[in-house]
């Protein structure tokens, strides 16, 4: 059993090293077992099913507005990637932008560039720049392969649970249950949730750069969270949350805005001081 456990540990380590990729816009190393060619077909199918169940908004003015903002962001992505020689990373993307009729305050971009913006979110994001901030954030999740990374992390968490079970196989049942519970809480609080918060912060920063290149003032990104913080409702402690606190997001976005403006200037976009 010990020999098997050591082999499994070695296999996990080797697989982790082989599957280490880089988020191009930030340089962060990530664990990713899932390729775009594997995840895109399922993503596109899921998107089509979603649109069958969620009606596209009949408000032509707002729909065209969302598409216009989305297309400007897509062009910003393409320009940024072309300038940096990363065009091959966008292979297989099938960009699409839709406004759906739903009161929820939500938006997402699926792997491969399928974007949805909910009408409910328009009650908070009232300016084009605020919409661009949210949409840029969601596009950034897709570009950074956060979905595939979360799948890979979940796979690693399952392997860790197997290792914990094997390592405690000779312990009393109650002791084994205790160690499995400790591993479960520890991996969730110490690995999965921090990674989720890291993803959100990374998408905030990337999205802010993209919105600036697209010509939207990156200062608006922090204002989105000023509005969100005024909606009420108590946030869970950050350590128990998948997202950074509103205050942390506002502070980070204000700190990062000058860098986004400097990058946008390279594309001929200049904002008033």
Residues taking part in catalysis: 138
The CA–CA distances, whole Å, from 126 to 71, 137, 213, 223, 231 equal 18, 16, 20, 11, 14
Tokens linked to 253: 């976005």
* Residue 91, CB-side half-sphere exposure with 13 Å CA sphere: 9
Q: How far apart are CA 208 and CA 222, in angstroms?
A: 10
Say which residue the tokens 């609080």 belong to.
189
At 116, phi and psi to the nearest 5? -130, 135
Alpha-carbon 168 to chain mean position: 36
Tokens linked to 162: 């197997």
Q: What angle do CA 106, 111, 116 make, to 5 degrees?
A: 30
The CA–CA distances, whole Å, from 9 to 4, 31, 115, 160 equal 9, 16, 39, 9
Alpha-carbon 17 to chain mean position: 22
H/E segment holding residue 108? strand 107-110
């Amino acid at each position: 059993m010990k020999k098997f456990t050591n082999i499994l540990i070695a296999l996990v380590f080797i697989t982790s090293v082989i599957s280490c990729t880089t988020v191009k816009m930030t340089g962060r190393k990530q664990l990713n077992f899932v390729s775009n060619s594997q995840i895109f077909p399922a993503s596109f199918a899921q998107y089509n099913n979603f649109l069958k169940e969620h009606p596209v908004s009949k408000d032509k003015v707002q729909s065209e507005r969302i598409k216009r903002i989305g297309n400007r962001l897509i062009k910003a992505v393409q320009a940024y990637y072309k300038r940096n020689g990363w065009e091959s990373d966008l292979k297989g993307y099938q960009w699409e932008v839709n406004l759906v009729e739903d009161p929820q305050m939500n938006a997402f971009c699926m792997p491969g560039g399928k974007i949805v913006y909910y009408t409910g979110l328009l009650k908070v994001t009232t300016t084009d720049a605020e919409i661009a901030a949210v949409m840029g954030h969601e596009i950034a999740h897709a570009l950074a392969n956060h979905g595939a990374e979360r799948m890979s992390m979940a796979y690693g968490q399952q392997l860790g649970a197997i290792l914990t079970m094997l390592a405690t196989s000779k312990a009393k049942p109650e002791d084994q249950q205790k160690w499995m519970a400790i591993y479960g809480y520890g991996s969730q609080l110490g690995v999965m949730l921090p990674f989720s918060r890291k993803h959100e912060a990374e998408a905030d920063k990337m999205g802010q750069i993209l919105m600036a290149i697209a010509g939207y003032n990156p200062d608006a990104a922090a204002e989105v969270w000023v509005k969100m913080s005024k909606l009420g409702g108590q946030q869970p402690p950050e350590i128990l949350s998948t997202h950074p606190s509103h205050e942390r997001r506002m502070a980070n976005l204000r700190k990062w805005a000058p860098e986004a403006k400097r990058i946008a200037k390279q594309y001929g976009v200049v904002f008033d001081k």
